[in-house]
Amino acid sequence: MRIGLITNLVHDKPFIENWLAFGNSSDWMRATGGNTGNVAFVEGVKKILGGNVQKVHWGDNPSSIHENIDHIVVCCANQLGAHANLSGWADRLAKFDVPATFIGIGAQADQLGDIPELPEGTIEFLRVAASLRANPNKSNFLTRGEFSSSVIEHYGYESNPFGCPSQFISPLKTLGQLCLSHQNQRKHVKVLTAAGNPFHPSRVIEKLLVEIVENFNGDYILQHPKVLFDLAEENFADLSPAQINAIETTYSEIGKIESIADWVAANSVYFADAQNWMQYSKKFSQVIGPRYHGVALPIQVGVPGKVISIDSRTEELASTTGIPFITYNDVVKMSSKKLVQESRWSKSDADHYDTTRIKNALSYSQFLDEQGLPASEHFINIIQ
């Protein structure tokens, strides 16, 4: 089968091969779709699909799609919300007019249970997408969890709440046990932190993450927003007074903008591909942060992590995939030392993760079969 894979990574391979060491913050955001965490679920989709997978783009000629592609698979993110109008997707899908499957789509709201009001363009996308089912009796939406599925159901369509595909990057069946073993064998606590957003209401937790970096020989992994990459380059000349004020408020313990930029440049790290990100993670004993994918990727190579849930998106992803999480409201009451201790995995955490992951893998397998999509040998080995 000729599968056309649509992702939000823009010319990421040429960027990695030619410009990784020289690109500025705009280059990084363009290559990774505005958030380096996007490389995680794209890697996951590539790992589970068999067949002849080739990358296609929204701007491709529809006649070329018809001639060369049997089935389109779209790597989705948290596109269901007031923040995203998918009218462009609806238009292109209608022109492509080939069977299509949507993996990992998620809804965004302040808290679970709050149904977002979707733009008309996104509602039209749901209609067009559902009309392109390869199997007329089965939904072609695979969501990040029950909440996202409830949003799709609210608008009149069925879906499958099986979590993010990044949970299947590792070939191991007992990944949770590897995480527990890794944690218990490490003599030195070395904590990787998945940095949040200095403009988000949850920004107070960045103080704790900075303390963890300082006190536990850690690093500060950047994903989004662009301004953090600007700081890593010690480029803050173009920041507005409001942005500078927000940054200085978030990182008040470090000092003024010059000192903050110096600290971020010295302590941050970021990646444009999943493989290098995972390999780098291996030297840490654990990972903590409000970025789901910043925690999920290290877990795939046996580094245990805990997500700090700051909204419906992060909580849903962690809950659906079995990754331990702690709420933002609980974290703000803790010291950095307490947060590190609370983020250690127990045997029950490892068992729950493995059980949840295998259950989701079986559900994914059935979903792929219902869409007529071949599974990769890598993925088949996980469920056998």
Q: Binning pLDDT at 50, 70 and 90, where does residue 108 land?
A: confident
- How large is the average pLDDT for residues 342-353? 98
- How large is the average pLDDT for residues 108-114? 77
Strand partners, 55: 5
- Give the CA radius of gyration of the chain: 20
pTM (whole model) above 0.85: yes
Cα torsion angle, 284, 290, 296, 299, sign: positive
Helix 347-371 to helix 312-321 angle, to the nearest 10 degrees? Answer: 90
Q: Which of 201, 371, 221, 184 is nearest to 298 (CA)?
A: 221
Mean pLDDT of the chain: 96
Please give the backbone phi and psi of residue 193, each rounded to the nearest 5 degrees, phi first: -115, 135
Q: Where in the chain is the domain with CATH 3.40.50?
A: 175-347
pLDDT tens digit string along 168-183? 999 999 999 999 999 9
- How large is the average pLDDT for residues 8-16? 93
Q: Distance of alpha carbon 324 from its chain centroid, rounded?
A: 16
Using the predicted structure, report yes or no on whether residue 111 has a pLDDT greater than 80: no
pLDDT tens digit string along 46-104? 999 999 999 999 999 999 999 999 999 999 999 999 999 999 999 999 999 999 999 99
One CATH from 1.20.1070, 1.10.3470, 3.20.20, 3.40.50 for 175-347: 3.40.50
* pLDDT of the residue at 93: 98
Using the predicted structure, report yes or no on whether residue 360 has a pLDDT greater than 90: yes
Please state which of the ranges 101-110, 318-327, 330-339 shows the lowest mean pLDDT. 101-110
Please give the backbone phi and psi of residue 327, each rounded to the nearest 5 degrees, phi first: -80, 150
Separation of alpha carbons 112 and 114, rounded Å: 6
Return the percentage of the chain with pLDDT > 70, whole number: 100
Q: Binning pLDDT at 50, 70 and 90, where does residue 112 land?
A: confident
* pLDDT of the residue at 341: 97
Contact by Cβ (8 Å): 139, 158: yes
Who contacts 42 (Cβ-Cβ below 8 Å, separation ≥6)?
A: 7, 8, 9, 75, 274
Cα torsion angle, 169, 170, 172, 177, sign: negative
